[in-house]
Amino acid sequence: MAKTHNPARTLWLELQKSISPKRLSPYTDTADKDELDSLGRYFWNIALCEAMYPSLQCVEISLRNAMNYAIHRHTKNAFWFDDPTLLGPNEISKVGRAKTELVNHGKRIEPGRVVAELTFGFWTSLFAAPYEHTILM
């Protein structure tokens, strides 16, 4: 008897090859009827992540603007991110990369542009212990 082609199984096996079985294991369940159940959970997770992106973007923009405003007000320096006594080496490097990106895109180095170019990771790193007495006043 000829085997029937199961597209869901084929897709699942290809995903496992490209993504890894370990990464996909949380989407499987012993009660699954077939791989289609696991695929459904995997793609549902992607859809949920996409749905959260606008909210996360608003949080990121609000956080960076609030932090920039507070630090600027505290230091009385719009270019506070250029002060080597304020930031550690990792954050100074991130500021340098942000400026390089601006220059590469033909944009001027202005405080608002640098602030917008800095990553969410940069801003969250400012909540670390080393900044407790310099930035988190």
Q: For residue 137, is pLDDT > 70?
A: no
Tally the residues of the chain.
Answer: 137
User: Taking the mean position of all CA atoms in its chain, how far away is CA 18?
Assistant: 22
* Distances from the Cα of 78 to the Cα of 88, 109, 113, angstroms: 18, 12, 11
Q: What is the mean pLDDT of residues 115-133?
A: 92
* Distances from the Cα of 104 to the Cα of 13, 15, 52, angstroms: 41, 36, 30
Longest dimension (CA), the chain: 80
Q: How far apart are CA 94 and CA 115, in angstroms?
A: 11
Of the candidates 98, 124, 128, the residue with the CA atom closest to the CA atom of residue 112:
98
Residue-wise pLDDT for 75-119, tens only, equals 999 999 999 889 999 999 999 999 999 999 999 999 999 999 999
Task: Note the pLDDT of residue 32.
Answer: 85
Task: Note the pLDDT of residue 96.
Answer: 97
Place of tokens 């603007």: 65
Query: Does residue 57 contact residue 48 with C-beta atoms inside 8 Å?
Result: no
